[in-house]
Every structure is written in structure tokens, then in C-alpha cells.
Amino acid sequence: MKRRHVILLLGGASSGTMSIGTGAFSSAEAERGVEVNVVEDDEAYLGLEAEREITAFGRSADVVEIRNSFAADLTLTVSVAEPNEVVEDITVAGEEPPAELTLAPGGDEWVAVTCEQIGEAAFSLQFSGDAGGTSVEKTRTFDGIPVAPVSQVEFNGNGSVHVHGEFTELVVTVNGGPRTETITANKSGKGVIPPKGEQINRVKIGETVYKRDGNGQND
């Protein structure tokens, strides 16, 4: 899968002790009393890159990359707060939060999210740590990340439907109901809905309806 990122970068000071709050900011005070700029660009020291969407469903997917751009090792405690109902589970570098990380200069780790509902994922990450005597304290909120496990719905001539994507236990409503099917994608990323004596002309996945003679549309 080609990754598409939204870059969120947290600034830092080149020397002294720095504390970054949870709100907007433009500068911070160094320990020696000299004001230094805090920037949010590609020169930032604690970097975060977030996926634009979550394509996996029912299993863990890497969503936020944590990167150390300090010249020294970065030790971090990463906590998770306020996940919404779409988010089933979050891990940091494979561990349940709060997680303790040590990143070498240029090193990175991933925050992975598991979603059991189709919708938009939202959560906050809290960072507390130190890199060569420089302290890092920051909270970043990620919201409005769409969970989109389906890449294509294919209606076949034999009346069946192939659903392509990365998902497990995806509930599909067939021909307007009451029939539903729970399908899981195979290794090639395809789940099959059999016709069961009727041609399938319409399926609903989440809030999106797919029709044999048209594209997906909101119901």
C-alpha cells in the first residue's frame, strides 16, 4: 500500500531546557534566559507523520510515525488519551500505552490503531521525555482520520460480489436487507459474497451503498 502522510512536526530548542505546552506556541524560554524560536517545520526535533486514512479493518495498522530528529538519543513516554468509539485499540511500538521508548538520532517507531467500526478515528497522543538535557512535553490530537477498509466492490455475472480491501469480519447488508453477510478478506485482499439463489444488485457497507449499475454512494 502506498503511504500517504500528513506531516505534523513539533519544534525544539538547540540547547538548554525546553518545555512545550499543549496549546499553540511560537517561542519558549531556554534555561539560560535566552528566548529561542520553536518552529513547526521540517527542522523540528520531534516529528510526527500521520496516515490520511486507515485502510485496515479489524486488525492493527500503522497510523502515526514518531521520529527523533535530535542529535542525541530521545527517551519518551507516550500515552494515549480520548480515543473515540471507532478506535478499538492503540499500541505504541507494539506495546500497550503508556509506552517507554528510546530512539536513536534519526530513529522512528509507529503508533498502531485497530478499528472495529467504519467511521472516522480520533485520539490524542501525549509525549514526555528528554534528549541530551532538552525536555519535551507535548500533546497532539489526531481526528477525522477516515477508516476506509474497502478499495473496490465488484459485481460479477454469476450474481456474486467481490469486495476488495484489508478487513476482517466486515458486515455487509445484501439487496437492502434483511440478509447480511460477514466476510473476511483473503490473502489477496478479497472477500466474496455468494448469490445464494439471488443476484446481488446492491450492498451496503457502513453508510455507503454500492450498486451493480453505479458507484458507491451514501445512503
82 falls in which pLDDT band (50, 70, 90)?
A: very high
DSSP string covering 15-55: SS-----SS--SEEE-TTS-EEE---STT-SEEEEEES-B-
Is the pLDDT assigned to residue 193 strictly greater than 60? Answer: yes
The residue to which cell 521540517 is assigned: 42
215 falls in which pLDDT band (50, 70, 90)?
A: low
More confident residue, 10 or 191: 191
pLDDT at residue 207, rounded to an integer: 87
72 falls in which pLDDT band (50, 70, 90)?
A: very high
* Mean pLDDT value of segment 181-203: 96
* Mean pLDDT value of segment 82-103: 96
Is the pLDDT assigned to residue 28 strictly greater than 50? Answer: no
Is the pLDDT assigned to residue 54 strictly greater than 60? Answer: yes
Q: CATH second-level architecture of 5-146?
A: Sandwich (2.60)
pLDDT at residue 1, rounded to an integer: 43
Instruction: Label residues 148-183 b or e (16+ Cβ within 10 Å = b).
Output: bbbeebebeeebebebbbbbeebebbbeeeeeebeb
Is the pLDDT assigned to residue 44 strictly greater than 80? Answer: no
Domain boundaries, the chain: 5-146, 150-218
pLDDT at residue 76, rounded to an integer: 95
